[in-house]
Homo-oligomer: A and B are copies of this chain.
Amino acid sequence: MREDAKTPERHARRMAAKQKIMQARIDNAQKEQGVLLVLTGPGKGKSSSGFGMVARALGHGMKVGVVQFIKGAFSTGEQAFFKNLPNVDYHVMGQGYTWDTQDREKDVKAATEAWAIVAKMLADDSYDMILLDELNIALRYEYLDLDSVLDDLQARPSKQHVIVTGRNAPQQLIDLADTVTEMKVVKHAFKDQGIKAQKGLEL
Contacts and interface: CB of A to CB of B under 8 A. Distances in A.
B190 A179 contact: yes
A203 interface: yes
A60 interface: yes
A161 B201 contact: yes
B26 A194 contact: yes
Contacts of A200: 53, 56-57, 60, 62, 128-129, 161
A184 B182 CA distance: 5
Interface of A: 22, 25-26, 29-30, 32-33, 35, 37-41, 43-60, 62, 76-82, 128-129, 161, 163, 174, 177-191, 193-196, 198-201, 203
A80 B201 CA distance: 22
A183 to B, nearest CB: 5
Given A26-B193, A186-B180, A200-B128, A45 B56 contact: no
A86 to B, nearest CB: 12
Nearest to A25: B195
Contacts of A44: 37, 49, 179, 181
8 contacts: A51-B55, A51-B56, A57-B199, A58-B77, A59-B79, A177-B187, A179-B190, A184-B184
A184 B41 CA distance: 9
A187 B183 contact: no
Given A45-B46, A45-B52, 19 more contacts: A25-B190, A26-B193, A26-B195, A37-B44, A38-B186, A39-B45, A44-B179, A48-B52, A48-B53, A51-B55, A52-B55, A52-B78, A54-B55, A56-B201, A56-B203, A57-B77, A59-B76, A161-B201, A182-B184
